[in-house]
Chains A and B, each alone.
Chain A
Amino acid sequence: MALSIQHLLGLEGVAKEDINRILDTADSFYEVLQREIKVVPTLRGKTIVNLFYEPSTRTRLSFELAEKRLSGSPLNFSASTSSVQKGESLKDTVRNIAAMKIDMIVVRHGAAGVPYFLTRCTDAVIVNAGDGLHEHPTQSLLDMMTIRRHFGRLEGLKVAIVGDIWHSRVARSNAWGMTTMGMDVVLCGPPTFLPQHTESLPVRVTDDMDTAVEGVDVIMMLRVQFERQGTGLFPSIREYRQRYGLDKERLSRLPKEVIVMHPGPINRGIELASNVADCEQSVILDQVTNGVAVRMAVLYLLGGGESA
């Protein structure tokens, strides 16, 4: 029983059975991570290139750790210290890396669709670690794993994703993945932060945070991505914090069972108050732990076979 997908490019169109299988396998790997020796020999001899065209702490370290704990051989590439600086194109870079006989490529790039493009340049298995404003599937999978481990299920739970939806590939992946799993997803942010064609996403959208968080089980706060936007999308940080930030006062109006998530890195004091990020209802560090397990599961399930 393998996955019905050969690459992980996004969660749009990925079947419920595949997502369940990844999450079940991730639970098993979670157990491996509790062992004294956290390494298993499964991917021995497999070379995995981490092709990062954008900065990243969590995702890159998490993938590298997942690769090492499966005994794979990770090879790290970052655009800023490579021949990309000399003007080498993406296609040439990838074809050269592929010529060194590698098995999988984990790619992050500022342009949407790059992972799909790579599937046409090489035979290697491609895993999307974030492409432009498109998708970030492993983040969504680790979010779902965290929610499932907390509540014991996904079906029927309600999640509000609040903040800079437009610039968030996490929100897009979650919108697809979570609705596939039968969750109720509400996206919330100031109108300037909402994408233009939300009707193409299988979710509800609102610009009022109090409406969004009504009856939720999970609140996922997104980072204001200052590096991706020009000016003028919101009047001031202070006003944003007041209308769309999550602080203790707003959280205290909701049931104690509600959990708070954030894909990181956090702008403390902007979208999320510091004492909320560190409070008991926050599962933000669980997300990071689960990230390694979920990525091990994805690499394990996709890395086993040559193409069918």
Chain B
Amino acid sequence: MKKLEQLMDATALDRALSRIAHQILEKNPDLNTVGIVGLQTRGVFLAQRVAAKINEMERAHLVAGILDVTLYRDDYRKPFKQPKVQVTDIPFDIDDKNIVIVDDVLYTGRTVRAALDALMDFGRPKTIQLAALIDRGTRELPIRADFVGLKTTTKGDQEVALSVKEIDGEDSLWLVEVEKGR
């Protein structure tokens, strides 16, 4: 993995999350109807930060839920590709709520598809909205984000690599090049 260009540093990342928090509020003025759910792994931390920002602005008490979509993925059948099943913990009733899914990278849309199916098994939300820190294009499914931190288009062997301080020690987003034949 070769680092090509830093797309966001800690400050930019924080500002993007602040903007997303404001936009969520703007679209959902009644916080009693809002539920925030982060997708494993890094989406969880982003969701917690967005929830904390909203709580600070509005003196609210949102708790971010955690959703692991591993069991709903469509690439399970590929030989020996079972990813680790992680924790799901949604500590609120999602029925009739406006649920905001928070994920780090929006790419093919397949993770979000899995998340939609998983959420539907937990209840019947009024709406489901999507917040992504980065939208790198190249969708394979008809899915779009409602709130986006940064939009970019990656090509060929490029990917984006997000580090969050909770598990990686620092906040940063890089455009990287992955080796061919991986």
Task: Decide if A and B are genuine partners.
Answer: yes
Distance A300 CA – B68 CA, assembled complex (angstroms): 15
Cα A37 to Cα B77 in complex, Å, equals 23
Contacts A28-B68, A306-B79 given; does A300 touch B122 at CB 8 Å: no
Q: Is A304 a contact of B87 with CB atoms below 8 Å?
A: no
Main SS at interface, chain A: loop
Assess the B77–A304 pair: CB atoms within 8 A.
yes
Could you say which residues of chain A place their CB within 8 Å of the CB of B76?
42, 304
From B90, which residue of chain A is reached at the shortest CB distance?
Answer: A35
Query: Measured between C-beta atoms, what is the minimum distance from A165 to chain B in Å?
Result: 35
Closest B residue to A43 by CB, please name it. Answer: B76
Given contacts A36-B122, A42-B71, whether A28 and B80 have CB atoms under 8 Å apart is: no
B80 contacts A40, C-beta separation under 8 Å: no
Asked if residues A308 and B80 are in contact (CB atoms below 8 Å), the reply is: yes
Are the CB atoms of B72 and A41 closer together than 8 Å? yes
Question: Across the two chains, which residue of chain B brings its CB closest to A304?
Answer: B82
A32 and B122 contacting across the interface, CB-CB below 8 Å: no
Is the beta-carbon distance between A39 and B84 smaller than 8 angstroms? no
User: Is the CB of B117 closer than 8 A to any CB of chain A?
Assistant: yes
A39 contact set on B, CB distance < 8 A: 121
Assembly CA distance A305 to B75 (angstroms): 10
- B115 smallest CB distance to A (angstroms): 13
Q: Mark B70-112, 1 if CB is under 8 A from A, else 0.
A: 0110001111111111111100000000000000000000000
* Chain A residues bordering chain B, tally (CB within 8 A): 23
Q: How far is the CA of A40 from the CA of B119 in the complex (A)?
A: 11
Indicate if the CB atoms of B72 and A40 lie closer than 8 Å.
Answer: yes
Given known A-B contacts A1-B84, A304-B82, A35 and B71 have beta carbons under 8 A apart? no
Contact A304 B81 (CB under 8 A): yes
CB within 8 Å of B: which A289-308 residues = 300-301, 304-308
The reply to whether B82 and A1 form a contact with Cβ atoms under 8 Å apart is yes
A2–B80 CA distance with the chains assembled, in angstroms: 6
**Given A41-B71, A308-B79, A300:B85 Cβ within 8 A:** yes
Q: Are B71 and A40 in contact, CB atoms less than 8 angstroms apart?
A: yes
Complex Cα spacing A37 to B120, Å: 10
Whole-angstrom distance between the alpha carbons of A70 and B77 in the complex?
13
Residues of chain A within 8 A of B78, CB atoms compared: 304-305
A91–chain B nearest beta-carbon distance, Å: 27
A301: B residues at CB distance < 8 A: 82
Bound-complex Cα distance A208 to B101 (A):
60
Q: How far is the CA of A36 from the CA of B94 in the complex (A)?
A: 12
Asked if A305 and B79 make an inter-chain contact with CB atoms under 8 angstroms apart, the answer reads yes
Q: Hey, what's the 0/1 contact readout for B119-155 against A, CB within 8 Å counting as 1?
A: 0011100000000000000000000000000000000
A304-B76, A304-B77, A305-B80 are contacts. A41–B85 as well, Cβ < 8 Å? no
CB distance from B89 to the nearest CB of A (A): 8
- Interface residue A31 (Cβ < 8 Å from any Cβ of B): yes
Chain A residues with Cβ below 8 Å from B85 are 25, 28-29, 300
Given pairs A28-B86, A37-B121, A301-B82, 11 additional interface contacts (CB within 8 A): A1-B84, A24-B84, A25-B85, A31-B87, A37-B122, A41-B72, A42-B71, A300-B82, A304-B78, A305-B82, A308-B80
Could you list which residues of chain A lie within 8 angstroms of chain B, going by C-beta atoms? 1-2, 24-25, 28-29, 31-32, 35-37, 39-42, 70, 300-301, 304-308
Cβ contacts A to B, 28 pairs, < 8 Å: A1-B83, A1-B84, A2-B80, A2-B81, A25-B84, A25-B85, A28-B85, A29-B85, A31-B88, A31-B89, A35-B121, A35-B122, A37-B121, A40-B71, A40-B72, A41-B71, A41-B72, A70-B71, A300-B71, A300-B82, A300-B85, A304-B76, A304-B78, A304-B81, A304-B82, A305-B77, A305-B80, A307-B79
